Structure 1
Amino acid sequence: MSNSKLYKGSLTTIILKLLNQHDKMYGYEITQKVKVLTNGELNITEGALYPALHKLEAEGFLDVQIMRVGNRLRKYYKLTETGAQETVNKLDELAEYIKTMQTLVNPKLA
């Protein structure tokens, strides 16, 4: 998609949804999963992803688990109970936003 600015407001919701579906994931895994799911339309940069992950962790929505993989340490992110509830809230919020935008853009389908 040429205008990735539309996705910026949804990054938190995207991260929470993926973690809700996959139990735990590491950063690069999240970026690749988004790329696959959107057929390459959405590419989340490290510069956008990691600040969002750190913010979610600081807010108590994510737990971090550091694991050794080969010779590297890898940070896995997992939802907390509060994070699971926030996922529900964010998905409801996004659904309502999409419904409102659909009403504005194409009232015949609403």
Structure 2
Amino acid sequence: MKPSNLYKGSLTTIILKLLNENDKMYGYEITQKVKQITKNELQLTEGALYPALHKLEAQGLLGVEVVKIGNRVRKYYRLTEVGTKVTVKKLAELESYIRNMRALVNPKFRDE
């Protein structure tokens, strides 16, 4: 299945959740983790990921640590204190959305 606009709307939450679970990650690592978790169904492109990371950094939700590895420079992203609070809120919103969509699409899954 190809990714759709539904995934694009969840990109921020996906990034925040992964960073919440993994302390710090660099961009390529995030793309690989998403591929692994979704069994290659969702593949983040650099064109989608890096603008989202930069936006989250500008909003004060992510901090960046630059590490030189040999001749390469790697930027690690981690949640700020504000980012951690926003992550909790976004995950709760997503869980509510999923629960409501499940009820609409298949009413037998509705919470009693």
TM-score (norm 1): 0.97
List structure 1 runs of 4+ shifted beyond 6 angstroms.
Answer: none
Q: In 1, Cα distance between the equivalents of 2:89 and 2:104?
A: 23
Asked if the contact 1:4/1:42 (under 8 Å) is kept, the reply is no
Q: How far did 1:4 drift?
A: 2.7
Task: Specify the alignment match of 2:10 in structure 1.
Answer: 10
TM-score (norm 2): 0.95
Q: In 1, Cα distance between the equivalents of 2:44 and 2:4?
A: 9
The one-letter code of the counterpart of 2:50 is Y
Unaligned 5+ segments in structure 1 are none
Q: How far did 1:42 drift?
A: 0.3
Asked if the contact 1:63/1:79 (under 8 Å) is kept, the reply is yes
Task: Specify the alignment match of 2:41 in structure 1.
Answer: 41
2:51 matched to 1:51? yes
Unaligned 5+ segments in structure 2 are none
Q: In 2, Cα distance between the equivalents of 1:10 and 1:87?
A: 12
Q: In 2, Cα distance between the equivalents of 1:3 and 1:56?
A: 22
Identity %: 68
Write the deviation string for residues 13-57 of structure 1: whole angstroms up to 9, x where unpaired.
000000001100000000000000100000000000001000100
